[in-house]
Amino acid sequence: MAEDFCMKSIVYIEIFLKTQCVPIIVGGSNSYIEKLVEDIVFMFKYEYNICFISTDVEQSVLNLRVDTRVDDMVNAGMVDEVRQIFIPEADYTKGIRQSIGVPEMARYLREEKNIDGDDESNKMIVQP
């Protein structure tokens, strides 16, 4: 997975550089960025001039953001969208399943099969 990210990043960086645009890599996993920069196979830190800008957010702020995102997803009907890709035994630490809100909904989606579906039961399973 990280290798795919690195390969695609290099391809897009080269495309941007050929058009005299500045490529900017935003977001993603720190482990992906570390792999891109440090892995000798990709030669990234030897081939490109780089500048890192990072943000550091207190865990409570991040938790609030994730909670708000999940609430927004539920209110916007995104549960149905996530339900379409949901596989109970899947690894929710990789790929699209790692998207904000998806791992947090995994517990709900696993439990909803075991309840009768009334509003009270649904509220119980979303409580921490």
- Name the residue range of residue 24's domain: 2-47
How many structural domains does the chain have? 2
Instruction: Indicate whether 74 belongs to any domain.
Output: yes
Tell me, yes or no, whether 76 and 115 share the same domain.
yes
- Please indicate, yes or no, if residue 38 is contained in any of the structural domains: yes
pLDDT at residue 70 in the model: 74
| Residues 71 and 113 reside in one and the same domain | yes
Q: Is 9 within the bounds of a domain?
A: yes
- Name the nearest CA neighbour of 12 among 2, 3, 24, 1: 24
89 is a domain residue: yes
Asked whether residue 75 falls in the same domain as residue 115, the answer is yes
CA distance 5 to 85: 21
Residue 52 domain-assigned? Answer: no
Compute the Cα dihedral for 39, 42, 46, 49 and give only its sign: negative
For residues 26 and 72, state if they share a domain.
Answer: no
Q: Which pLDDT belongs to residue 19?
A: 94
- The whole-number mean pLDDT for each consecutive block of 10 residues of the chain, a chain of 128 residues, reads 88 93 79 88 90 83 83 76 78 72 76 65 55
